[in-house]
Structure 1
Amino acid sequence: MLENLISMTLDEIKKGYSYESQHQKFICNICGKEFESGEVFRVNDKYYDASRMIKIHIQSEHDDMFDILASNDKKYTGMTENQKDLLRMVYSGMNDSEIAKKNGVASSTIRHQRFVFREKAKQAKLYLALYELASQGADIRKKSYDKNSEFIDMHKGAKMVDDRYFITKEEEEKVIQSMFSSMKPLRLKTFSTKEKKKIVILKKISEQFERDKRYSEREVNDIIKDIYEDFATIRRYLIEYGFMERTKDCKEYWLK
């Protein structure tokens, strides 16, 4: 979901799905499942069109959208866990007095925090409007703006975020072309010690794993071996840089 966040509208983010007009299909932002317009879907002896089925899918297969969005790290939400907990209580229907009592503070403190939330929301909307106008204006005028100069999206589990993650699409493509000898099948020439190149390499290798699938350590090793002989180093860095996670006993691995 985070990978396509910048291209989604606020409404699409809140609903959990988007509509691709070119191919006339509804797409779940969370798992990527697609429902094409014109198809009829059967659920418990009832039939639904794609526009209704995508909503049923979100409700039955995924958690509440508030919880899904709130589960993202502070670097994406800009909120502390305490702030998210407060909004969660507001979302649940609790009033100021109930929230204050639960947190052992005065109602005025909760009112002040809600005011701060509102002001930040106004600021965020204005920021987004200015950003979109600037991007659209540059694109229309076809001046110095180059889509290759856009930054690639950080992966969800990115750790110690700093300037090594400031990688443009053009830089990413150059690294891929220079560091890999083949794309299909994927073959890595050498594992660079330079941070930006390392991130691009790991990002490309992580794409060989399926999201929402659990892998044994042996399966992870087998996939990496086909790409680069030093599979242990690649596996270690996939974990260290937050592209993958694993259980404490190292029996299961999965994409972050």
Structure 2
Amino acid sequence: MNLGDYDLNTLKDGFLYDAGRKSYACLLCGKQFEEEEIYALAGRFFTAGRAVREHLERDHGGWFQAFLNMESRYNTLTQNQKKLLSRLAQGWPDQAIAKEAGVSVSTVRHQKFVFREKAKQARVYLALYECAGQLAEAASGSGERPGAELRPVHDGAKMVDDRYLMTQEEYERYLKNAFKSLEPLRLEHFPVKEKRKLAVLMRIIEEFQAGRRYTEAQVNEALAEIYTDYVTLRRYLIEYGFMDRTKDGAVYWVK
């Protein structure tokens, strides 16, 4: 999941509505709820929109805490800030928060003030960006937002730099040069240049399912089908933040 790809309402809700399919999808596990279906949960019946909200509460313990603690380069809150937001969401008074954190009440109130000001800045920036996009769309008729011609940056990226300034055209050209076949996926050589390497990894990670847990053997098997040096591919998928693993290396997943 790339948090930066979703609009504000989707991020607040924790689910994505697909107007074409007329369905709701949980952002945490991808479970689909078709709009024309009725869902039975704990002896009660819900429409799809209500069912996905119930699902988030019953199966995931609520969206907010999962969202708050989700690893993302866009979530720059410190652990202390996350703890404070969590307590505020639970309705804790300032005095109780200060006591738990071992700080003064004025410190808690100052951080709340900082939160509020940052939220205002974010809303102004978002409004300006959206206005610029609408004007660009009207002027060119392309329907593109500023920067839309660039490939998106994956959410687990550890260091975003010029390597990620890649257009869709460049991406497709790099794939054509590196892969013998895209279906099935067969890599001819692993590029030396960082930008081309990144493009290859972007394509390879599509072979793995988000939300699924893989053993190291399963990862090796899948990568070996793509390229003989599967160890190198696995290492770079981790280094570039496309995948993560447990400390003992036993379990892998898409970030």
**TM-score when scaled to structure 1?**
0.89
Pairwise CA distance, 1:74: 6.7
Pairwise CA distance, 1:104: 2.3
Pairwise CA distance, 1:123: 0.5
Q: Report which stretch shifted further, 102-111 or 121-130.
A: 102-111
Matched, 1:46 2:41: no
Match of 1:59 in 2: 57
Q: Secondary structure at the match of 2:158?
A: coil
Summarize the Cα distance change of 1:71–1:170 in structure 2 as closer, same or farther, 3 Å threshold: farther
Matched, 1:33 2:31: yes
Match of 2:221 in 1: 222
- CA distance in 1 between counterparts of 2:97 and 2:49 reads 37
| 1:4-38 deviation digits (Å, cap 9, x = unpaired) | x4342x22211111222222111222222221111
Give yes or no for contact 2:245–2:252 (8 Å, CA) kept in 1.
yes
Summarize the Cα distance change of 1:193–1:213 in structure 2 as closer, same or farther, 3 Å threshold: same
- CA distance in 2 between counterparts of 1:31 and 1:59 reads 13
Matched, 1:168 2:152: no
Match of 1:207 in 2: 206
Unaligned runs of 5+ in 1: none
Match of 1:191 in 2: 190
Q: Write the mapping of 1:7-156 to structure 2, written as runs, cut at 5 A.
A: 7-8=6-7, 10-73=8-71, 75-142=73-140, 150-156=149-155
State the one-letter code of the partner of 1:69.
F
State the one-letter code of the partner of 2:167.
T
| 1:69-114 deviation digits (Å, cap 9, x = unpaired) | 2223473123222222221121121111212222222212211211
- Say what the alpha-carbon RMSD is for the aligned residues: 2.2
State the one-letter code of the partner of 1:184.
E
Matched, 1:157 2:159: no
Aligned residues: 254
Give yes or no for contact 2:73–2:158 (8 Å, CA) kept in 1.
no
Pairwise CA distance, 1:202: 1.0
The one of the two structures with greater contact order (alpha-carbon pairs below 8 A, sep at least 6) is 2
Summarize the Cα distance change of 1:51–1:73 in structure 2 as closer, same or farther, 3 Å threshold: closer
Question: Percent of pairs identical after alignment?
Answer: 44
Give yes or no for contact 1:191–1:198 (8 Å, CA) kept in 2.
yes
State the one-letter code of the partner of 1:167.
M
Give yes or no for contact 1:149–1:170 (8 Å, CA) kept in 2.
no
Q: Secondary structure at the match of 2:131?
A: helix
Q: Secondary structure at the match of 1:35?
A: strand
